[in-house]
Amino acid sequence: MKIIVLVKQVPDTASKIEIQKGGQAIIEDEIKWVMNPYDEIAVEEALILKETFGGEVTVISLGPERVKSTISTALAMGADKGVFITGEKIEDLDPVNVARALAQKASAMEYDLIFAGQRGVDEDRGIVGALAAEYLKLPKVSLATKVEISENQETAVIERTAEGRTEIIESSLPLLITTEKGLNEPRYATMRRIMMARKKPIEKIGLEDIGLDESHFKEKSLKIIKLLPPKERAAGIIIEAETPQKKASELGRILRDEAKVI
Amino acid sequence: MGKGVMIVAEQQNGEIKKNSYEIASEGKKIADALGVSATLLLIGSEIKDEAQVFFEYGISRVIVADHTELNDYSNEVYASIAEIVVKENGPSHLIVGATAQGKDLAATLAGRFNVGLAQDCTELTVDSGKLIATRPVYAGKAYAVIEFGERYPHIATIRPNTVSVVKVEIPIEGDVEEISYPLNGTNYKTKLKEVIRKGDETVDLTEAEKIVSGGRGVKSTENFKLIEKLAASINASVGASRSAVDAGWRPFEEQVGQTGKVVSPNLYIACGISGAVQHLAGMSTSKTVIAINKDPDAPIFQMADYGVVDDLFEVVPALIEDIEKNK
């Protein structure tokens, strides 16, 4: 079974996000870059399927030079090959063209399944997977919490938990699946695996290698006018009383009479 | 550029979602600001009569795709129907709810039309005839103000509980239109086989109006019954911090935070949650925040409108008693 995983590098969720002067980008100096947590789940699921059916797992990632470390992490987890799409000002690509680039590369490869995390925890858009599925004319199931592939590797049964319920969906392959927390517990890349992964191939390509050019940088479906820090919340009130019970009834009163939320 | 604003409303088991009234109101507001009319699409089963209500929100045309097979959301089927309706009507803007379903559908439509999609917006405005969207990024650690490109329709999804529901003074007089669409299952590659519902129809946390969340301080699966009891007393949904989920006390779908659900309720009660950056990021647009925690230095208190520094195992039972007594 040939599986492609689309992987993104994002700031660690513990990172503090500060905005550059001018409000066009975040300050990257202090940021620790990691694999998007949902993409770790995607890589893990691909590896689990490879263990069952055999085959090959390829990760594709797009971004500046630093992204290579995230591809290496995926290889250390057990992926076989990496594709690194990079170039000058690659960060300026909009999501439509990011998806187009990923899909272009994937379309030149053989695959039965494509996995992607349900969203990047940086921009929180959750659209690149869906766009890539459209460009590849693939059916797509998002937010998977369970994936089962039939023995003949022709169909998949996927559980997705959304809207407070669980749906069971059957689809033919090839298929694009976006992964949700709960699908699996991603493995850690051990030191031994990290060493072993150094020998694994990473194919580095530019946008021109997959038919994208300058025009794709200019054509933007979205433009950031500015980034703003979150609005400060007004200082809160600490409820003072002699006993926990008295604090509780004061809180009850506030919820009813002041905040009027119950 | 096409014309008109199209709103894609949602139903769950034949009932229109609260969020759909929000996006209908917001869609109408944007249509007014752009000087165009608002059309609404609702896909579901036995929803034609229900859909009539949208005329009260100033929607000029209400279109439904109504069939028993459309009761449950399917990306492939719903997207095909929405694509047909968009092509026929050529709206310049599509307004969708930032629910699990709405975000999924909007993403597919963005791909079909090769256009910009602003997901999970908390504010939409119109400036010189152009739609400007404000949306949280990095789970609310920053906000991006964005404009759209040259291609239409421009699509925005709106985070539940962030915009007001507003009816118009004089409802539009109109009839709900039914459209036809291809519905034979054979053309679709995906098939919804089964839906497993939890006892009562629970709302997704992202759409919940009230949430009671527990964290590390709750200490066990068993103790979470107390959180459930408080939630039940005020008709709220239960949420959990990452540590509570990682400890196996609660299912992953209840996790609130940057790697879980991003929520925006009117009331968020955090019990025994210290307030790690990634948790705060997931609930920062909640309206009223209550924190109950023993540790006065817990970061959650900086986010809270009202705080109780005390043992949750003393405060929460007393709070439930007080709420029940005053019902």
Q: Is residue A226 very low, low, confident or very high in pLDDT (cuts 50, 70, 90)?
A: very high
* Tens digits of residue pLDDT in B212-247: 999 999 999 999 999 999 999 999 999 999 999 999
Q: Rg of chain B over CA atoms, in angstroms?
A: 21
| Whole-structure pTM value | 0.94
* Tens digits of residue pLDDT in B126-151: 999 999 999 999 888 899 999 999 99
Q: Which of A85-94, B118-127, B300-309 has the lowest mean pLDDT?
A: A85-94
**Geometric angle at alpha carbon A173, from A172 and A175, rounded to 5°:** 105
Please give the interface size between A and B, counted as residue pairs whose CB atoms are below 8 Å apart.
276
Report the CATH number of the A2-218 domain. 3.40.50.620
Q: What CATH fold (topology level) applies to the domain B205-325?
A: Rossmann fold (3.40.50)
Residue ranges per domain, chain B?
Answer: 5-187, 205-325
Task: Among B75, B115, B311, select the one facing A142 at the smallest CB separation.
Answer: B75
Chain A positions touching B12 (Cβ under 8 A) are 163
By the 8 A CB rule, do B239 and B282 touch? Answer: no
Q: What CATH fold (topology level) applies to the domain B5-187?
A: Rossmann fold (3.40.50)
**ipTM more than 0.85?**
yes
- B173 — contact with chain A (CB < 8 Å)? no
CA A113 from centroid of its chain's CA atoms = 16
Binary contact (B136, A123; C-beta < 8 A):
no
> What average pLDDT is seen over chain A?
94
What value does the mean pLDDT take over residues B196-204? 70
Where are the domain boundaries for CATH 3.40.50.620 in chain A?
A: 2-218
Binary contact (A237, B307; C-beta < 8 A):
yes
* Tens digits of residue pLDDT in A51-76: 999 999 999 999 999 999 999 999 99
Give the SS3 label for residue B276. Answer: coil
Q: How far is A98 from chain B (nearest CA, A)?
A: 12
Query: What residue of B is the nearest CA neighbor of A144?
Result: B253
Q: Which of B222, B174, B165 is nearest to B60 (CA)?
A: B174
Chain A positions touching B138 (Cβ under 8 A) are 11, 17, 26, 121-124
* Tens digits of residue pLDDT in B243-267: 999 999 999 999 999 889 999 999 9
DSSP string over A59-70: EEEESSGGGHHH
Query: What residue of A is the nearest CA neighbor of B131?
Result: A222
Q: Check whether B201 has a pLDDT greater than 60.
A: no
Q: What pLDDT is stored for residue B140 in this prediction? A: 86
**CB contact set of B59 (below 8 Å; sequence gap of 6+):** B7, B24, B27, B28, B38, B39, B40, B172
Binary contact (B142, A228; C-beta < 8 A):
yes
- B20 — contact with chain A (CB < 8 Å)? no
